[in-house]
Structure 1
C-alpha cells in the first residue's frame, strides 16, 4: 500500500489510480461476485509503490550521489506506521469484545507478526489460501503492507550498492532493476507451481511487481520523446482496460500469482507512463476527477480499516452464517468515513504537522521501534495468558464410550472434549511429523510402514490428505498385529484422478501417483484402500459424478488385479473449522452442525458405492444421523479443520473400521 505524496511532483492521475485499486479490493472483499479478481488492486498498489519510491531514490542518487538512509526510513515510518498501528490497536480491542476466544488467539498472533512487519510470512508458513480462506485472519490484508515494508528496507541499499559499483552512473542502475524484476518473476513462476502460499505472500516472489514500477521510474527519468505523443496516452487507456478486465475476469481459480499477474501489473505500468504524457489522449483527466481524488487520498486508511470492518462482524455472527451482500456493502460504505477520520487525524498530522517535521530521524526511528516492540510483546503476553484459559462449557460427559450409530451428540461443548478446541489444529496423523506424507512438491513414492507382524495381510492406503487423516485408525490395527500398513499420501493429489487431472503429466502429483502405482503393481498388497477428497478432485467438472466414475474406473484398471480394492467414503465437510464455531457456541453444539445433504456429496458417494470391482467402507453414520453431521460426538472433536478428521477421532473409529476391513481382507485372501 502507498500513501499519497504531496510534493511539487504530485500526480493526480496516480491518486485516481489508487482509488481504482482500493475500490477493486474493497468491493472484492465485500463479496461482489462480478469482481472475482478484485484482489488485483493490491498488484496495482505494488507497481505504484515501486514507481514512487524508486523515483525518489534515483533522484537522491542523481542529485546528492547518496541516499540519506535515516531520513528515508523515518519519512516512510511517519507516513505508513501511525495509521497501521492505530488500526492494529482498534482491531485487537474490537476483537476482545466481539470475537470468540479461539479466534482471539489468531488475532493476537496476527497482531504480533504485524507489529514486527512480517505478517506475510505468518500466512505463508500457515499455508493460507488468500483467495479461498474460510476463516481468514483479521490482519490478513496486512500481508501486502509487510511486503512493502520489507521492500522499503532492502531497496535503498540495493540501489545504493548498484550505484556505487557502477561508478555512479544512474542509467546503468536501470539494468539492476531489470535483473531484479526478471529473477523475481522467474522465482514466482517456479514457486507458485510448488507452494502457492509462499509464492503469494513472500517478497522474493512479489518483488518483480514493485521492480516494474521501478523500471517505469527509471524510464520516465530519461524523458523519451515518445512519452509526449498520443501513443503513450492511448497505451494508458489500454492499461486501464487491462486492470479493470483483470478485476472482472479473474477468479479464485485463476492461477495467481504468475503469468496472469502480468495483466494488472503491465496495465498499471502503462497507466503511469501515459499519465506522465501531456497529450490529451491520456485518461489522466478521468482519474483526476474530484471523487477519484478523494478516494485516492484516503486509499491507504481505507485499505487498512475495510477488512476488519468486514471480518469482525462476520466473526460475531459466526462464519457458518455468512453476512448478506447488503450488509457487507453497508460495512464497506461505513469504512469510508472511518478511513477519512484516520487520514485526517492520524495520517496527515504525523506526516505534515510542524511537530512531526521537527522530529529528528533518530527520534522517529526509536519511537517506531519502541511502539512495534510494545505491541508485539503485549500481544504475545496476552496470547500466552489466553492459551492457559480452557474453552468449554465447564461440564463433562462420560468419556471413552464406544462410538455408535446413530452418534451420541452432547448439547454442549464438554470440558473433557478430546482434543481440546485449542489443540484441534495440531491433532494430526503422525505421517505429517515423520515426513511420510508428501507435501505439494514431494515425489517420494516409497510410503511408510506400520506394524511388525509379517504374517498379517498387507494393506496399502493410497490417496490425498484425506487418506492421511485415516492413518491413525489403520495404524492402530497395524500396531495390534492385525494388518501391515503401507501409507501413501500426498497433499492435493488423489489416487483417483479425473481426466482433466490426468491431462497434466509431469507434475509432482502425476509423477508421485504413477510411481506409487508402479510399486503396487510390482508387489501387490492384499488390500488397496483408496481415500480421497472426492469433492476437490471433481471441482470444476461439468458432470462431477461422471468424472468421478470415469476416474475410479481408470484407477482400478491401473491397480494390480491380485489386490482387493476398497474405497473409503469421504468424511463430512463442515465448510468451516468446527473448533471456531464451537468456541462461539459453547452451550449449543447444534449451532455448528451441518445438514447431511450439505456435508456429504451423495452423487459421488453413489458412484463409489455402486462401483464394480471395489468394496466400499462408509463410516459416516458414526458422525451423521439422517439429518445432520455433528462436529462433536461423545467427548470427541470430529474434525481438526473443515474436512480432515482429528487423529483422536480417527483412532476412536478403529473398531468400526476393523469390522469392515477384515471382511474385505478375508475376501482378498480367499478365506
Structure 2
C-alpha cells in the first residue's frame, strides 16, 4: 500500500470527532434492553435487538476513526489500530471468561464442563459465533444455554475489526484516495451483506444469525452513517433534524416491546432496530434542543453507557450459572433474575474501574512496541484456553456413579425407579448422549437434509410379516426393540425415520425456514407404503406445541389430530398403529443425575407433567376416527406418581425426550405383545 504524499482534494475538512454523550446514552439503552430481556421481563420480548444497536454504534465509531486516519495519514496504521482494539476489548472479555470457567467448575454439573470448555476455547480464539452456528444453537432447547453464548456478538465484532480496516485501506488506494468512491464501495458491500442476510434466512437461521457475512451489514450501516456525517451536508445542521433522534428512539423501544422470540430474525426484521439506531446517531448530532440528547445525557444513562461493555460481559454468566445450579426444572422467579441483573451493575462497574479503563491507559503497553500488546493478548487467550481445558479434565476425574450396584430387573408395568446412580448403570451418564439406535451409524436414519425415502430393511425370515417404522427421531427410538424382533425372525422391518420430520402431516419450519425436504420425504414414504403393502405401519412422533409450524391455529391439539388423520388416511390398505410418545422432561437426565448421585429420584418427573394431555387426546381421537390402533407403553415407563430416569440398572433417557437404545431394547417383549395381535 502506497502512503499518501498529501491530503485528497475530495476529503472533507471535518474536525476530528469528539465524545458524544448521546451515543453513550444509546449504549445504555442497548445494554438495558439485553439485560432485562435475558432476565425474563416478558414485556421486553424484543430486547435482543440491543445487540444490533451495539453493532451499528461500533460500525459508526470504528469507521469514523479509520476515515480520520486515512484523511490525516493517507493510510491506516494497522499495528496501532489493532493494539488499541486489543487493549479495549480483550482484558475484560478474557478475565470474565476466566472467572466464568472457575464459577462453572464450582457450581455447574460436571457433565456440562465439556460445553463450558468448548465455549472458553472458542471465545479465546475469537470464533464463538462460529461454534454456536455449527451447533445450530437453539435458545428453546431443553439443555442449558452455554455460559459463553453472549460472546457470539464479540466474535462478530472482532472478525469485523479484522477485515474492515484492510477493506477500507484497499478501497482508498483503488479509489485514488477518494472518500466518495470509498463510500460507494462501503454501500455496495453493506447492501450485499443485507441481501445475503435476507436470502440466507431461507436456508439456515442459525448461520444467518451467527455469521459475519450475514451480520456485517449492521456494522456497515453504522459505517455509512460515519461517511454521511463526514460530508458536512448543510441539511445535517438543521435544527429539525434533531427530531430524527426521537423517531429513532420511539422506533427502537417499539421494536423492543413488539418483537417476539417467534419473529424471524435477523433477516429484513433486523432493519428496523438498525434504522432506529442510525436515526438516533444522525439526529443526535443536530444542533438545538429538539433532539433527544438532553434525555440521553442524563447521569444514569451516562453511567450505564460507560460500563455497558462490562455489563454485557458479566450479566449473562450471573443469570445462567445460578439457574443451572438449581436445575432447569426449577426456573428462577422473576424477582431473583432481576436481582441478579441488578447485581451485574456493581460487578460491571468494578470491572470497568479496575480492568477496562486501567489497561487502556496502562503506559507499559501504550508506549512500548505494539508487539507487546499482541504477545500479552496471546498469553491471556492461552490462559483462558488452559483454564477451560483444565476444568474439563478435572471434572472428568470426578465420580459419576455411586459405589452401589442395582439389579437388572425385568421390565414390568408401574416400575419403581432406582433412587441412586448405580455403579453398573447402562449406559453411563457420560455415554448417554451417544446411546443412539444403530440406524444413526449406518445412515438408515435420514438427517435433516435430503428427501431420500427408500428406507432400510432388516430381517432374514422371508415369511415374517413386513412392518414399516415411520416417523421422526422418536420413532427411531423404537428401532432397537424392533431390531430384536427382526433378528428373532418375528418380523421384517423397514425403517423410515428422519430427524425433526414427523410422519404426521405437519407443515413445519426447521432453523427458521420451511422444512420442504420433510414434506417430500413423508410423501415418498407414504407412496412406498401403498406400493409395498406391508402388514403393519408403526407411526411415532414427537408431538409438542413447541413444534415450529407454518400456519395452523392456536389449538395445537386439534391441528395435531388433523395432521395425524391426514397421514393415516393417506395410507391405503395396511393396518396402522400409533405409538404414544414417551415422557418429556425439560432437563437433560444425565446432567440432572450427575448433580446428586445419591438422589436420582429428585430428577424423576411427575407423571402428571410428563405428557401433554392435548397431544394424548388428539392421537387417541385420530386413531379412533381412522380405525388405527393406539399403543401406549407409558405404564412401562412410569408408575402412578412419577416417571423415573433410572429403572433397575438402566438409564431410560438419553436426553429430555428420547429413550436410550439400551432401554428401548428392554421393551422388546411388551412391544411384541401388542404387535403380535395385529400381525396374527
Alignment TM class, shorter chain as reference:
over 0.9
- In the alignment, what sits opposite 2:476? 468
- In the alignment, what sits opposite 2:676? 662
- TM-aligned CA distance change 1:320 to 1:537, over 3 Å: closer
Rounded to whole Å, the distance in 1 between the matches of 2:127 and 2:514 is 36
Spell out the pairing of 1:176-255 with structure 2 (5 A cutoff).
176-229=185-238, 232-255=241-264
* Contact 2:160–2:216 (8 Å) recurs in 1: yes
- TM-aligned CA distance change 1:602 to 1:370, over 3 Å: same
Shift of residue 500, structure 1, vs aligned partner: 8.1
> 1:433-467, CA deviations, whole angstroms, 9 ceiling, x for partnerless residues?
44444444433333333344443322222222322
> 1:176-204, CA deviations, whole angstroms, 9 ceiling, x for partnerless residues?
32333333333333433333322222222
* Contact 1:417–1:637 (8 Å) recurs in 2: yes
- In the alignment, what sits opposite 1:599? 610
Q: Does 1:447 align with 2:455?
A: yes
Rounded to whole Å, the distance in 1 between the matches of 2:515 and 2:107 is 48
Shift of residue 131, structure 1, vs aligned partner: 5.4
Rounded to whole Å, the distance in 1 between the matches of 2:286 and 2:446 is 53
Rounded to whole Å, the distance in 2 between the matches of 1:469 and 1:176 is 53
Spell out the pairing of 1:191-590 with structure 2 (5 A cutoff).
191-229=200-238, 232-399=241-408, 401-498=409-506, 507-535=516-544, 536-537=546-547, 541-559=553-571, 561-590=572-601
- TM-aligned CA distance change 1:350 to 1:25, over 3 Å: same
- In the alignment, what sits opposite 1:4? none
Deviates more, 1:568-577 or 1:257-266: 257-266
- TM-aligned CA distance change 1:42 to 1:277, over 3 Å: same
- TM-aligned CA distance change 1:126 to 1:499, over 3 Å: closer
Deviates more, 1:445-454 or 1:22-31: 445-454
SS of residue in 2 equivalent to 1:591: helix
Deviates more, 1:378-387 or 1:54-63: 378-387
- TM-aligned CA distance change 1:205 to 1:501, over 3 Å: closer
- TM-aligned CA distance change 1:240 to 1:487, over 3 Å: farther
Rounded to whole Å, the distance in 2 between the matches of 1:513 and 1:76 is 52
Q: RMSD between aligned alpha carbons?
A: 2.4
- TM-aligned CA distance change 1:233 to 1:309, over 3 Å: same
- In the alignment, what sits opposite 1:645? 659
Rounded to whole Å, the distance in 2 between the matches of 1:516 and 1:62 is 65
* Contact 1:318–1:584 (8 Å) recurs in 2: no
* Contact 1:499–1:547 (8 Å) recurs in 2: no
* Contact 1:442–1:490 (8 Å) recurs in 2: no
* Contact 1:131–1:252 (8 Å) recurs in 2: no
Shift of residue 279, structure 1, vs aligned partner: 4.4
- TM-aligned CA distance change 1:490 to 1:245, over 3 Å: farther
SS of residue in 2 equivalent to 1:534: coil
- TM-aligned CA distance change 1:117 to 1:356, over 3 Å: same
Shift of residue 320, structure 1, vs aligned partner: 1.3
How many residues align? The count is 657
- List alignment gaps of at least 5 residues for structure 1: 1-6
Q: TM-score, normalised by structure 2?
A: 0.91
- TM-aligned CA distance change 1:309 to 1:514, over 3 Å: same
Q: Does 1:99 align with 2:108?
A: yes
* Contact 1:228–1:279 (8 Å) recurs in 2: no
Rounded to whole Å, the distance in 2 between the matches of 1:598 and 1:226 is 62
- TM-aligned CA distance change 1:606 to 1:344, over 3 Å: same
Deviates more, 1:248-257 or 1:381-390: 381-390
> 1:281-313, CA deviations, whole angstroms, 9 ceiling, x for partnerless residues?
322221111110100000000011111111222
Rounded to whole Å, the distance in 2 between the matches of 1:447 and 1:179 is 47
Shift of residue 92, structure 1, vs aligned partner: 1.7
Deviates more, 1:504-513 or 1:632-641: 504-513
> 1:38-77, CA deviations, whole angstroms, 9 ceiling, x for partnerless residues?
1111111111112211222222223322211121111111
Shift of residue 332, structure 1, vs aligned partner: 0.9
Shift of residue 327, structure 1, vs aligned partner: 0.9
- In the alignment, what sits opposite 1:628? 642
Q: TM-score, normalised by structure 1?
A: 0.92
- TM-aligned CA distance change 1:488 to 1:269, over 3 Å: farther
Deviates more, 1:105-114 or 1:142-151: 105-114
- TM-aligned CA distance change 1:179 to 1:631, over 3 Å: farther
Shift of residue 349, structure 1, vs aligned partner: 0.2
* Contact 1:212–1:269 (8 Å) recurs in 2: yes
Deviates more, 1:515-524 or 1:590-599: 515-524
- TM-aligned CA distance change 1:256 to 1:652, over 3 Å: farther
- In the alignment, what sits opposite 1:3? none
* Contact 1:15–1:293 (8 Å) recurs in 2: yes
